[in-house]
Structures are given as C-alpha cells and as structure tokens.
Amino acid sequence: MTQPIIVSRGEDGGALAAYPVIKGEDDAGPLAPGTPIPLAKVEGALNPGHLAPYAGPTGVVEGTVKVSGDPPPKRAIAIPFSCAEASATYGKAFCEGNGRTLGDVLVAVTGYEGYVPAQGEVSAVKIHGCAFDRRTIAMTYGQRIEVANTDSRETYLPNLLGANMPAQLVAMPRGDAVRLYPMEVGHYALADGMGKSWLVSEVFVLRYATHAVTGLDGHFRIAGIPVGKVKVSAYLPQVDPELYAAVGIAQPSLDRDVEVKANETTQVEFVLPYKTPKPVPKPAGASTGAIIR
C-alpha cells in the first residue's frame, strides 16, 4: 500500500480558518485505544458515573425515515465531468431515494438507564467518484475517522474542519486510509483541501454509542438498547437552517417516545415534512453556476 503524504498546514489554517476549532483541556494519563485522547477524558464524557457496561436485557430500534412535501432543491455548485458521479450525492440539497426515503439522517436513541460502550475504534469513510459515501457521519467520542480513497486517479486532502490539525495527510489513490482524530465532543465537518469545495460531510461526535445514519433507502437499525422507555430522534443536517440557510426548514429533526422490550424489535417510522424556502434575493448580475460543466 502507498503511504499517505504528510502536508504541513500554515499558521493561517487555510480553509480551516473560517471554521471555529473546538478546544479542550489537555489531560495526563494513558490514552484511549486507537486514539491520542486520554482514556480518563473519554470515560468522563461517555461514562461519568463509571458504570460497568450494561449487561441486562436489550432490544432493537429499527425503522425508516421518509420525506414529504417539496422535492430537494438543486444546489448551485459546479462539478466537473471528471467528477460527474458526485452530482448524485451533492447536486441537491438532500438525498432522496425511491419511495421518498431519506438518506444521511442521523438517528439516535437516548434516555435509557445504563452505559452502552461503542463498538470498535473506527468510523470508516470511503471516497469514490469525488464523493464521500455519506453526507452525515455519526461517531462516538473516542473513536477515530479513517478516510479511504477508493478512486484510481483522484487525490484528496481530508480536512476535519473544527479540529486542530497541525499536519494533514494526502489520501492517495487506493492508498492507506487517512486517520483523523476529533479531540472533543461536538460538530465538525469533513472536507477536501484540494479544491473540491462540494466534498463535505457533517460530522457529529456524540457522548453515546446508540446511533445510526440512514442510507439512501432511509433505513436504520440500532441494537443493544437497554429495555425501558427511550427517545428516538431523527435529524437531517442538510436542512438545518443554522447550517444551510438557503434550504433549511424550521424543524429539521423529529422525536418519538417509545418503549424497548427485551429481545424485541421496536419499529419507528419518521416522515420529515419539507417545504422549499423562498429564494433569497440575489445581487444584480450574480451567476447561479451549474451543477455540471
């Protein structure tokens, strides 16, 4: 395998300068497995009560997220023919599948009693055809991101916007995965530093492990939920007005209160109503660009 190339980032931070860095305090002590984060810091965020991993009866929360109302608006971005595959991922405000299923929705289960640890150390992301394999990434604090470039020719420079990155690694064609480490709980963005401005995924580093992101079929499945009453939340970042004012809606998230029973699957269905916002007036002579050029 070809090793990633290390590129030093300047003092001004380049594209990162416009995205606020999430800062935290440095801690001493042993590091968490697979990350440069102190183990005590991860434990304090995920399991402040120092509970043993939950070993009682569990159930599954499963379902589908769909959209109703208006179709997703087209985005005014320019994607070259060499990256035409990316237009299917980024050409519209959000990704809608057959039967109006909704992709890239972050679904989380919270409100249960007990500590559920994360499964594994890695949140894997692939790049193919100048596109990340999803526009929303959810991970548990203490995990790392591994970005694999599966293209045969294109080269990328994965940036974790909002993180302190003194050096960056180039993702070579079919080379080794680039490792990125969110050092704090919070919201980041995964982007490309080699000019592909459309190549962005929202990254959410959470204090719990009971989450999933829907594919284009809108499906989600979260196992290992402690029994009892819980809250299931579905959130589509791509229509959050705080992130995307031009296409955002008043309620980009939905909640359901359900009861999880031992060895049973609780079905939860979401329908997110979407209404295209009125267009913002543009200055005279402004160009809207094109999806493909």
List all residues 6 or more positions away from 287 whose beta carbon is below 8 Å from its beta carbon: none
pTM, rounded to two decimals: 0.86
Neighbours of 43 (CB within 10 A): 16
Query: What is the Cα gyration radius of the chain?
Result: 20
Q: What are the pLDDT tens digits along the chain (293 aa)?
A: 434 433 333 333 333 334 555 666 656 578 877 789 999 999 999 999 999 999 999 999 999 999 999 999 999 888 888 887 899 999 999 999 999 999 999 999 999 999 999 989 999 999 999 999 999 999 999 999 999 999 999 999 999 999 887 678 899 999 999 999 999 999 999 999 998 999 999 999 999 999 999 999 999 999 999 999 999 999 999 999 999 999 999 999 999 999 999 999 999 999 999 999 987 666 666 544 433 32
Give the pLDDT score at 197.
92
Give the DSSP letter string of 47-67: -TT-PPBP-S-EEEEEEEEEE
Render the burial of 92-124: b for 16+ CB within 10 Å, e for the rest: bbbbbbeebbbbbbbbbbeebebbbebeeeebe
Q: Which two tokens stand for residue 254?
A: 């939905």
Give the pLDDT score at 30.
83
CATH number, span 5-49+58-274: 2.60.40.420
Task: Please answer whether residues 94 and 31 qualify as being in contact, where contact means their C-beta atoms are separated by less than 8 angstroms.
Answer: no
d(CA 98, CA 218): 9
Residues 42-47: contacts with CB under 8 Å, at least 24 apart: 42/141, 42/142, 45/141, 45/142, 45/185, 45/207, 46/115, 46/117, 46/118, 46/140, 46/141, 46/142, 46/207, 46/208, 46/209, 47/115, 47/117
List all residues 6 or more positions away from 33 whose beta carbon is below 8 Å from its beta carbon: 121
Give the pLDDT score at 32.
76
Give the pLDDT score at 31.
80
d(CA 215, CA 135): 10
